[in-house]
Chains A and B, each alone.
Chain A
Amino acid sequence: MNRRMNPWMKAGLYILLSIGAVSMLVPFLWMLSTSFKQPDEVFAPGGGINLFPEHLVWKDTVIDGQRVRAWWGNYPDAWKEISFPRLYLSSIFVAVVGTFGQVLTSAMAAFAFARLRFPGRDKLFFAYLATMMIPGSVTMIPVFVIMKSLGWINTYQALIIPGLFSAYGTFMLRQFFMGLPGELEDAAKIDGSGYFGIFTRVTIPLSKPALATLTTFTFMGFWGSYMWPLIVTVTEAPRTLPIGLRYFVGQHATNYTQLMAGSVIALIPVLLLFIFNQRYFVEGIKLSGIKG
């Protein structure tokens, strides 16, 4: 757009961006700082912001006759209190199985819609498209009733199986498959591949970027899913991370140092995923906007 920018303007842009970046980061830093504080330090009276923890010591010690905990002390407490290992495992299990299933069923259906001819194809595809308009709250209650009548309340099936099928995923992959060249398919056919062989050996390998993007997005969807797991879980056993965190807040509403430590622990996996998969996040968002 512009070949050479005025240095003043450049400096101005940097300042603007930095102000924005600071306001994005400050809440996170406050969260981190609080998680390192002494439990009663949060309620310290008087003015001032006490942005940073008053004491940062490596071991529990006594300073001026007061017991001071190590800076990391809130983390083991939160870890024990919220039973993180179980929640992590639940979340990971639900997200991995659900994502794999959804991407697989979407890819298979998309392959049929994009690369095969059969009677009723366009009508069925239109029906899929139409259901994308239906808000989740319409189907939620009947699906809950189905889960209840199957005896699936408070099971992993209830968390995973209704999420295995996605009209959106099918639509997105179909658009991508439509754009694949037909020559490779023909070559595979001449080599004696059946449709399944074409699907696994030609279509899937050629669609890695689209599949990776859908995988990232579906995974994030399962990982952050809140309303459905809240509805179908009753006890701690199959609960996922967000629900576990929610119940922890309900019980320890004012234990801010521990709450923040727990929040930090809960955010770490998704942050790691984002940092290593940033490209797919960006690509996925762009893809989702194409249909507009």
Chain B
Amino acid sequence: MSHKKREALAAYGFLLPNFLGFLLFTSIPVVVSLVMAFTHWNIFKPPTWVGLENFVSLLGFHREGGRMVANDPFFWQYVYNTVYLMAGIPVGMAASLITALIMNQKIRGIVIFRTIYFLPAVCSGVALLILWKYLYNADIGLINKSIRLAGEFIYASKPLAVGFTVLTAVFFGVIALATVGLMLSLVHWVSEKLKITWPDWLFRGLMVCAGAAIFIGLGVYGRQVYSAINVFFGTPPDWLGTVQWAKPSLILMGLWGGLGGYNMILYLAALQGVPTSYYEAAEIDGAGPWQKFWAVTWPMISPTTFFILVMSVIGGFQGGFMVANVMTGGGPAGSTTTVEYYLYQTAFEKFNMGYASAIAWFLFAVILLMTMLTWRIGGRVVTYE
């Protein structure tokens, strides 16, 4: 036997176990899943071919009393939930980056801090979700207990209450303004990379308008803001039990878990990879810390930002199963049911395998589209060394 043949034979031997698994648990299932999406099947009776029916009832619309109505309105609600829950991604990324920037400073005891910040990411799982369900409990949860206690203290005296209201309003006003600013600068940055130029005054003008709108709004509705804050501290909401609070609560929980987790470590590694000489060169040019960040750090870590964004978006579309299953049961009123949880319910509670496969392929298509889109844009925006 020739040397080449022996090498190839050995290679096939090494590959065999993995390849069998690859075939049995990945390639064949993908094909089967695609076929299943065109059938009705409840695993007890043999499947029947129904053509595009699953996709039509999943994605289609029909006319009802002169209005267009989705064939499966629940599905679109769950898509909305899934996208809503991903609102935490950019905030979480910014928080992780800031944490990484602080952790990258040469100060003592940073390893201890890093360990503490990473704890939630390590422990993630059913136990933590149980803990958070308890924290969010309307009557006996730590969060509402703290809010009530703070409320009793603040509303014991009028000046304190008024002062606190003003401070809170200003605080949220500043946060709202900062968010607007961040979005505008993001638009500016992307459009600059895409070679579209905007006049500077437009951005400044928009910022001033947004600021004015927020503060005038707070001034006009001052009394309402006051009583809303008062009510909030007197009877804090049932976080997981009300439709409007359930999703923000889950996002907040995700932020807590992700602040010092995988993304922070990735950012830390990226920051440590930026050559010191770049900073020195920037310093010689007279750059301050702010300019150094935007001129050196931000472009140098942009591949990492891009990677985290893509992975988070891909993960986000497939997420929410465990949270819904352990904490909320998808409720209240389906407000925390994600596409993935709907898929699970369809397949393993209603045994509607064909319809569930159609949902799975919808997910696949969305993920593929998002990935391709971000690669197209990312290729232009991200700076590789």
Give residues in A with beta carbon < 8 Å to B: 1-2, 5, 10, 13-14, 16-17, 20-21, 23-28, 30-31, 34, 42-43, 47-49, 104-106, 108-109, 111-113, 116-119, 121, 124, 127-128, 131, 133-146, 148, 161-162, 164-165, 167, 170, 194-196, 199, 224, 226-227, 230-231, 241-242, 245-246, 249, 256, 259-260, 262-264, 266-267, 270-271, 274-275, 278, 281-282, 285-286, 288-289, 291-292
Whether B123 contacts A270 by the Cβ 8 Å rule is yes
Whether B123 contacts A267 by the Cβ 8 Å rule is yes
User: Which residues of the other chain, B, contact A141 by a CB distance below 8 angstroms?
Assistant: 29, 33, 36, 347, 353, 356-357, 360
A-B contact pairs, 5 of them (CB 8 A): A5-B105, A30-B142, A31-B131, A43-B140, A117-B7
Contacts A10-B107, A31-B131, A142-B30 supplied; 11 other A-B pairs, CB < 8 Å:
A1-B104, A28-B131, A47-B152, A106-B18, A137-B318, A137-B343, A263-B127, A274-B118, A275-B115, A282-B265, A288-B262
B117 lies within 8 A of chain A by Cβ: yes
Q: Which of B173-181, B208-216, B223-231, B363-371 contacts A (4 or more CB under 8 A)?
A: B363-371
CB distance from A197 to the nearest CB of B (A): 11
Known A-B contacts A141-B357, A143-B29; A1 and B276 likewise in contact (beta carbons under 8 Å)? yes
Whether B11 contacts A162 by the Cβ 8 Å rule is no
A117 to B15 alpha-carbon distance, docked (Å): 12
Whether B347 contacts A259 by the Cβ 8 Å rule is no
A264 to B361 alpha-carbon distance, docked (Å): 39
- Give which listed residue, B117, B123, B279, contacts A271 with CB less than 8 A: B123
B55 lies within 8 A of chain A by Cβ: no
User: Which residues of the other chain, B, contact A109 by a CB distance below 8 angstroms?
Assistant: 14-15, 17-19
Known A-B contacts A47-B152, A133-B367, A142-B29; A24 and B18 likewise in contact (beta carbons under 8 Å)? no
Whether B279 contacts A292 by the Cβ 8 Å rule is no
A264 to B279 alpha-carbon distance, docked (Å): 45
Whether B26 contacts A139 by the Cβ 8 Å rule is yes
User: Which residues of the other chain, A, contact B19 by a CB distance below 8 angstroms?
Assistant: 109, 124
Chain B's closest residue to A108 (CB) is B14
User: Which residues of the other chain, A, contact B33 by a CB distance below 8 angstroms?
Assistant: 138-139, 141-142
Whether B149 contacts A138 by the Cβ 8 Å rule is no
Whether A49 contacts B146 by the Cβ 8 Å rule is yes
A141 to B28 alpha-carbon distance, docked (Å): 12
User: Which residues of the other chain, A, contact B140 by a CB distance below 8 angstroms?
Assistant: 42-43, 256
Whether A13 contacts B102 by the Cβ 8 Å rule is yes
CB distance from B175 to the nearest CB of A (A): 17
0 or 1 for each of B22-40: is its CB under 8 Å from A? (1 = yes): 1011111110110010000
User: Which residues of the other chain, A, contact B127 by a CB distance below 8 angstroms?
Assistant: 245, 262-264, 266-267
Chain A's closest residue to B269 (CB) is A286
Residue with the greatest number of chain A CB neighbours at <10 A, chosen from B43, B119, B357: B119
A10 to B21 alpha-carbon distance, docked (Å): 53
Whether A112 contacts B303 by the Cβ 8 Å rule is no
B249 lies within 8 A of chain A by Cβ: no
User: Which residues of the other chain, B, contact A274 by a CB distance below 8 angstroms?
Assistant: 118-119, 122
Whether B105 contacts A23 by the Cβ 8 Å rule is no
Whether A162 contacts B279 by the Cβ 8 Å rule is no
CB distance from A217 to the nearest CB of B (A): 11
Known A-B contacts A195-B7, A292-B303, A292-B307; A143 and B25 likewise in contact (beta carbons under 8 Å)? yes
User: Which residues of the other chain, B, contact A288 by a CB distance below 8 angstroms?
Assistant: 262, 266
CB distance from A237 to the nearest CB of B (A): 19
User: Which residues of the other chain, A, contact B10 by a CB distance below 8 angstroms?
Assistant: 112, 116, 194-196
Known A-B contacts A108-B18, A199-B14; A34 and B99 likewise in contact (beta carbons under 8 Å)? no
0 or 1 for each of B283-297: is its CB under 8 Å from A? (1 = yes): 000000000000000
B325 lies within 8 A of chain A by Cβ: yes
User: Which residues of the other chain, B, contact A291 by a CB distance below 8 angstroms?
Assistant: 307
Whether A246 contacts B18 by the Cβ 8 Å rule is no
0 or 1 for each of B334-361: is its CB under 8 Å from A? (1 = yes): 0000001001100110000100110111
User: Which residues of the other chain, B, contact A281 by a CB distance below 8 angstroms?
Assistant: 118, 122, 265
User: Which residues of the other chain, B, contact A143 by a CB distance below 8 angstroms?
Assistant: 25, 29
Whether B131 contacts A289 by the Cβ 8 Å rule is no
CB distance from A98 to the nearest CB of B (A): 12
B306 lies within 8 A of chain A by Cβ: yes
Whether B371 contacts A133 by the Cβ 8 Å rule is yes
Whether A131 contacts B26 by the Cβ 8 Å rule is yes
User: Which residues of the other chain, B, contact A10 by a CB distance below 8 angstroms?
Assistant: 107
Whether B318 contacts A135 by the Cβ 8 Å rule is yes
User: Which residues of the other chain, B, contact A165 by a CB distance below 8 angstroms?
Assistant: 17-18, 20-22, 25-26
B260 lies within 8 A of chain A by Cβ: yes
CB distance from B385 to the nearest CB of A (A): 13
Chain B's closest residue to A256 (CB) is B134
B244 lies within 8 A of chain A by Cβ: no
Known A-B contacts A28-B119, A137-B340, A246-B325; A285 and B318 likewise in contact (beta carbons under 8 Å)? no
Known A-B contacts A30-B142, A105-B17, A138-B361; A121 and B11 likewise in contact (beta carbons under 8 Å)? yes
